[in-house]
Amino acid sequence: MDKRYENPNIATIWANPAKVARWDQVELAVINARVKLGLVESVSYLTIRHVLEENPADIDWWLARDKEIAHDLQAYVDERRRHLPVELQHLLHDRITSYDTQEAAFAQAFIDSALVVMTAANELQRVLQDLAKKYRFAILLARTHGQWAKLKSFGARILSWFVELREAREGVLAAVEGCRRSKLSGAVGNYGGEGLDPETERLALEILGMSTFVGATQIMPRVVYLPLAQALSNLCGVLEKHSTDFRLMARSGNPLVAEPFGKKQKGSSAMPHKKNTIINEQLKGMARMARGYVDMIEESLDTWEERAIEQSSVERVAWPDLFHVTMRMLNQMTAVFKGMQVYPDHMLKEIINSRGTYASDEAKAFLAEHFSGEGVEAEAAYRVIQLAAFNVFEPRGFWAEARKNIPGNLEEAQALLEKGLKEPSVAVENIRDWISNARLEYTDTLDITEEQVRDYNRLLKTLFLRPGILEKWEEIFKITYLLKQEAYLFEELLT
């Protein structure tokens, strides 16, 4: 992994010293198991353990030996044996095959790395929960299809991120549990003649905190590990979605949030005004990387017969890099959320600018209910709201002109800009009043005739003359009405 994206804890776990130390643990567990079965004397085991602990493997010696004999595990055995008294040498790696040593050790690297991931994910979950509380009543205009939809608190949006993260984290947890199974059953998985047997396997794995996966070949079926890779990538994919949301919220115009920005930071070498969402953009790339690594691992289920090493090069690279990428994403996302700037004033502006359409769902239901009393179809309520929404966003005056007429050259474009700069801002109409005042206007963008528009207005006039209707109507545009059920989410998810 590029140094820039490397996580030091993950790097340590996958580096040679830790790898070889894990092999030591397995070799010792096998001897220890044989002690328990009365096959090896306890003192031999203790001596070997002592010698190995006192003499950590010499990584350079090992690598040089590997180069010579083209077999890394055998080179490791040679390295370890040279520290042992001759009479104990044969007890090390006795009647087991390379992958008997490597398999449980490999799974242990997953377990260790996953622990690092879980800790970071927990931290991010805590940050999100705190933020959800903090922004419990910072109201924004939620969006579907990038379009303004309905009101929601920023806290509730954060909760939706939180539950996705939690779901993905639980996926990692479940997958890592599956990795606590391994094998010590020889070169083709049936233990061979003597010296290695199911009981030795069971005891040795127990010492390592694992249980037996019965029926492996020389190696564990890779389908046992694959779900962990997928779960990690899914976690990355969830963070990718959150980073997209962040970038969308942070867009110039009326940004609702901004990434942390250092006091000395430069957003752009050319444009000094820039505050770019560079961290979140990087996260997008990281999620793509995670998927690529999983693709490599997914292809690697297919290995010939009792084993071949098609999966080996992939596993050396893709697994640690996948963990690095996951950690980078978790840590960067946590840093973003911890340091982000939030603009509730802009959230408010957006609600105001939406001209009451944020309540169109409830408004439609309100009209439908009252229209039905008049024998008017539900469809009419839909059309009235739709028409009003189109009306209030129709540009007028200078702006209507600017929509229609495109400048013919740069001078005209500049002249238009100068005119626009001087244009006074106009009062914004909203659908609440537009409808209650029966101001619907014909538009050629909808399939509603001028006569229908007149009918609708007549209907609305009648309706809003009735006592109490207007008060109820205005009520449904209120935050107090629209968000009253949101409390449920906070109760369920924060306690």
> Residue 61 interacts with its own copies (CB under 8 A)?
no
> Residue 267 interacts with its own copies (CB under 8 A)?
yes
Interface positions, 223-242, toward its own copies (CB under 8 A): 223-224, 226-227, 230-231, 233-234, 237-238, 240-241
Pairwise CA distance, residues 403 & 320, whole Å: 55
Give the interface size with its own copies as a residue count (CB under 8 A). 209
> How far does CA 489 lie from the centroid of its chain?
20
Pairwise CA distance, residues 231 & 493, whole Å: 22
Asked if residue 67 lies in contact with residue 60, where contact means CB atoms within 8 angstroms, the answer is no
Which of 41, 53, 60, 369 is in the footprint of its own copies by CB under 8 A?
369
> Residue 495 interacts with its own copies (CB under 8 A)?
no
> Residue 213 interacts with its own copies (CB under 8 A)?
yes
Which of 64, 215, 339, 465 is in the footprint of its own copies by CB under 8 A?
215
Minimal distance in Å, beta carbon 81 to its own copies? 8
Q: Cα torsion for 310, 316, 321, 327, to the nearest 10°?
A: 120
Nearest to 343 by CA among 333, 332, 355, 351: 351
In a 3-state reduction of DSSP, which class is residue 375? coil
Q: Tell me the per-residue interface mask from 375 to 394 with its own copies, x by CB under 8 A, - otherwise.
A: --xx---xx-xx--xx----
Nearer to its own copies, 190 or 465 (CB): 190
Pairwise CA distance, residues 426 & 396, whole Å: 9
Minimal distance in Å, beta carbon 31 to its own copies? 16
Nearer to its own copies, 7 or 360 (CB): 360
DSSP 5: G
Interface positions, 418-437, toward its own copies (CB under 8 A): 420-421, 425, 431
Nearer to its own copies, 465 or 487 (CB): 487
Beta bridge partners of 181: 211
Interface positions, 285-304, toward its own copies (CB under 8 A): 285-289, 291-296, 298-304
Interface positions, 186-205, toward its own copies (CB under 8 A): 186-195, 197-198
Asked if residue 24 lies in contact with residue 59, where contact means CB atoms within 8 angstroms, the answer is no
Residue 244: CB atoms within 10 A of its CB come to: 15
DSSP 3: G
Minimal distance in Å, beta carbon 487 to its own copies? 9
Interface positions, 82-111, toward its own copies (CB under 8 A): 86-87, 89-90, 93-98
With vertex at residue 106, the alpha carbon angle to CA 296 and CA 185, rounded to the nearest 5 degrees, is 110
> Residue 442 interacts with its own copies (CB under 8 A)?
no
In a 3-state reduction of DSSP, which class is residue 143? strand
> Residue 1 interacts with its own copies (CB under 8 A)?
yes
Give the start-end residues of each E strand in 329-456.
341-342
Q: How does strand 147-153 pair with strand 181-182?
A: unpaired
Which of 121, 340, 460, 482 is in the footprint of its own copies by CB under 8 A?
482
Interface positions, 450-469, toward its own copies (CB under 8 A): none
Minimal distance in Å, beta carbon 22 to its own copies? 17
Pairwise CA distance, residues 265 & 208, whole Å: 49
Nearer to its own copies, 138 or 465 (CB): 138
> Residue 348 interacts with its own copies (CB under 8 A)?
yes
Structure-token pair, residue 362: 């409830």
User: Which stretch in 17-25, 31-39, 369-377, 453-461 sits in contact with its own copies by CB under 8 A?
Assistant: 369-377
> Residue 306 interacts with its own copies (CB under 8 A)?
yes
Residues constituting the chain = 495
Asked if residue 184 lies in contact with residue 205, where contact means CB atoms within 8 angstroms, the answer is yes
Pairwise CA distance, residues 326 & 159, whole Å: 21
Minimal distance in Å, beta carbon 165 to its own copies? 9
Minimal distance in Å, beta carbon 49 to its own copies? 20
DSSP H or E segment with residue 418: helix 410-422
Minimal distance in Å, beta carbon 43 to its own copies? 18
Q: Tell me the per-residue interface mask from 129 to 158 with its own copies, x by CB under 8 A, - otherwise.
A: -----xx-xxx-xxxxxxxxxxxxx--xx-
> Residue 368 interacts with its own copies (CB under 8 A)?
yes
Q: Tell me the per-residue interface mask from 8 to 47 with its own copies, x by CB under 8 A, - otherwise.
A: ----------------------------------------
Report how far apart, in Å, the C-alpha atoms of 395 and of each of 81, 253, 425 are: 85, 19, 12
Asked if residue 82 lies in contact with residue 57, where contact means CB atoms within 8 angstroms, the answer is no
Asked if residue 1 lies in contact with residue 320, where contact means CB atoms within 8 angstroms, the answer is yes
Which of 12, 42, 211, 372 is in the footprint of its own copies by CB under 8 A?
372
> Residue 209 interacts with its own copies (CB under 8 A)?
no
Structure-token pair, residue 262: 């250092």
